[in-house]
Amino acid sequence: MHEASLVQGLLNVALTAVDEHNASSPQKKATRIQEIVCDLGLIACVEPQTLTGCFELFAEGTLARGATLTLRTAPLDCECTACGHVFSLTRRHFVCPRCGAGELHFNGGHGLTLMSVHVECEE
Ligand SMILES: [Zn+2]
């Protein structure tokens, strides 16, 4: 399943980031991941609900257990192939705002990008 590998990769990056943080600041270790914030590409072929479901499953038994996976929609850079207008889309409405053409060239928009990890530290 596509979503499963995305989530596994995401979780690995987040857990590695926490490990590195703990190695560099042993006096203020992160004990738990509270929230992971990601940008999801506008034309990524994944279901947000499937992503969060996979996340809960994979997070079990790790520092991310019970953490919230927050998915934001990343604005998608695109260019109208009819009039050359460059703009960014924030919703799935694939029409040029200037000339109304539906022929757009997308720049990215497929991925799932880790933006930030919020952790709880021991006192
Ligand atoms: Zn146009």
Query: What pLDDT, in 10s, does the model give residues 14-53?
Result: 999 999 999 999 988 999 999 999 999 988 888 889 999 9
| SS3 state at 73 | strand
Using the mean position of ligand 1's atoms as its centre, give its distance from the Cα of residue 93 in Å.
Answer: 13
pTM score, two decimals?
A: 0.84
Using the mean position of ligand 1's atoms as its centre, give its distance from the Cα of residue 94 in Å.
Answer: 11
Non-local CB neighbours of 19 within 8 Å, separated by 6+ positions: none
Distance of alpha carbon 41 from the chain centroid: 8
**Beta-carbon neighbour count of residue 26 at 10 Å?**
8
Which residues line ion ligand 1, judged by CB < 5 Å? 80, 82-83, 85, 96, 98-99, 101
All domains of the chain, ordered by start, with CATH? 2-121 (3.30.2320.80)
Query: What pLDDT, in 10s, does the model give residues 74-98?
Result: 899 999 999 999 999 998 899 999 9
Identify the band that residue 1 occupies on the pLDDT scale cut at 50, 70 and 90. Answer: low
Using the mean position of ligand 1's atoms as its centre, give its distance from the Cα of residue 16 in Å.
Answer: 43
% of the chain with per-residue pLDDT over 70: 98
